[in-house]
Each structure stands twice: as structure tokens, then as C-alpha cells.
Amino acid sequence: MFEVFTLLADWAAYRLLGLTPATKLADAVHFFVEDTSKIFVLLAVIVFVMGLFRTLLSPEKVRGYIEGRSRGVGYGLAAVLGAVTPFCSCSSVPLFIGFLEAGIPVGVTMAFLITSPLVNEVAVVILASIMGWKLTAIYVATGMGIGIVGGVLIDRLRMERYVEDYVWKIRMGAVVRTETDTSLSGRIRYAWGEVTDIVGRIWLYVIVGIGIGAALHGYVPQELFAEYASADNPFAVPVAVLMGLPLYSNATGVIPVAEALLAKAVPIGTVIAFMMSVVAISPPEFIMLRKVLKVPMLAFFGSFLTIAFILVGYLLNTLFA
């Protein structure tokens, strides 16, 4: 599905710029081109589709549908959707924005944002081949559980007030415009206007965020990590989580690192906490989300995930000691 972006990055890095494959510079450029093109296309498509969707439903219908469903079901569905979408933390942001624009509750949307980078089917297959299905099932259940708990807490704390004001204004604007022009061309113009408005607001954040990610991508100091996160260190789990915070990779990319750490006798809980930290929290993601969420929401998001990963790490180390 996303191979076209890989091919574009291959052409830009290796043919256009003539960089040597497998070098750090080539990898960084390849990552930047691939993720930038992918995220902008995802953002445009999702916001356009959500814009069309909003013109087809009145606010009364949307509200009635939401009120007629259990919020708990919404959290579960969001976590499942996150688990089956092969996105890294940055690639999840466009869909997250689209969900907010469509009027889906913030907590439900955050359940998706948390789960999506943590769990995907490719990572599950690779992880199972290395750690076995039992540990893989624990990883998947834990990842989805963290997403659901995070979504519930965000709703209970009423943190929707920390969504940037322009998001709510765009949603309110949908009512006015759909009432004035309900023709197909009018709906398309409205949806395209949504795309230009949203992309126009966050494009710089996306580029800066991915640029930082490109510089960090693939750099995981295995030897240093194994030294400070060994079984003898009672603070190994928080050390592992903190070391993973500034790094950036998807679940599939960090699994080989996890395998190498397990071979160095790093405890399983410490390794999984590190994996979760790398794939679910990244500087590029926070830079992009800052254009949609206010600082208190981002602070809660990062703090909750950090604490959750540490607790999961200690729990798994205890269970598999």
C-alpha cells in the first residue's frame, strides 16, 4: 500500500542525490522523503474524506449516533483500529486529526493514537518468531490496554479543552457550509477547503518533526543500553524507557534491536518497555501534535505513556523472573 513512497525515496536518495545505500546520510534522506510524502498524502486524503463525510451527516445525526453507543465500545474499537493500521507514531497523526475533525470524542481518538504505533500485524508476526506467541500476545494486550486506559483518563479529566480552538471552529463551520451548498461540487469544494486549511496550518510542523526523526532514525545504542539496563540494575526499566524517548522507529524496525538486547540477557520486561518507549513517544510526533493539542494535553500524554511503560516493564520482569 505504501510502496510508492518507498520507491519515491529510493529515487530521491539513490538516483537523484546519488547517495550510497546503507550510509547514515542516505538512510536519513530516504526516511525524510518517504515519511514526508506519506504523511502529507495521508493527511490530505483523510481530511478530504472526513470533510466529505461531515457534509453528508447533520450534527443531530452524529450526536444521536454517539449518544446511542457505549463509550467503552468506542475505546475498544479505536484500540482495535490502531492495532490493525501499520502506522508509526508520526503516520498516526493525520488519522488522529481526521478523527478530531469528524467529531469523534478526544479520549476515543487518543486510544487510537496510543495503540497504532505500538501494535501492528507485521510487528506481531516478527515478534512472535523471536519471542513466541505467548509473549507476543502479552505485548499486544498490553499495548491495546494502555491505549484504552489512556483514552478513558483523557475523557474523565475532560481534556478536550486542551485541543486547539481552530479544530472546534472548523467543525462548527461544517454546519454552516453544508447548509448553504449541498451539491456534489459544493461538498467537494468544502472538503478541499478543509485540506488546504489543515495542511496550511501544520505543514511546517510536519517537516520539522520528520527532519528530527530522520536524524534520529535507526540510531539505537545497543551496547550502552545493555550496560545500563541489565538485570542487576533495579532502575533498569525507567532507564530503558528514558533512553527510548528521544529515539524514533516503528515497531517493526525496533524488533531486531529487541532481539539483540535479549541475547545480551536484558530482562524481557525491560526490553518491551524500551520498545514501547521508542515506537509510541517521539519528538517528531510531539512537534506535529503541538499544532493540534495544547501543552497540558501533550504533557499528560507523554507522562501517562512514560509511567505506563515503566509499570508494564516492572510487571513483566516480575512475572518472567
pTM for this one? 0.66
Count CA within 13 A, CB hemisphere, residue 190. Answer: 25
pLDDT, one tens digit per residue, over 80-127 is 877 766 555 555 666 677 777 667 788 888 888 888 777 765 567 656
Residue 260 to residue 264: CA distance in whole angstroms: 7
SS3 content of the chain, % helix, strand, coil (to 5): 80, 0, 20
**Residues of the domain holding 172:** 3-319
Tell me what pLDDT residue 54 has: 64
Cα gap 20→13, rounded to integer Å: 8
Domain count, the chain: 1
Q: Is the dihedral of CA 120, 121, 127, 128 positive or negative?
A: positive
The 3-state secondary structure of 208-261 reads HHHHHHHHHCCCCCHHHHHHHCCCCCCCHHHHHHHHHCCCCCCHHHHHHHHHHH
Q: Could you report the per-residue pLDDT of 207-227, keeping only the tens digit for each?
A: 876 776 677 565 555 566 667
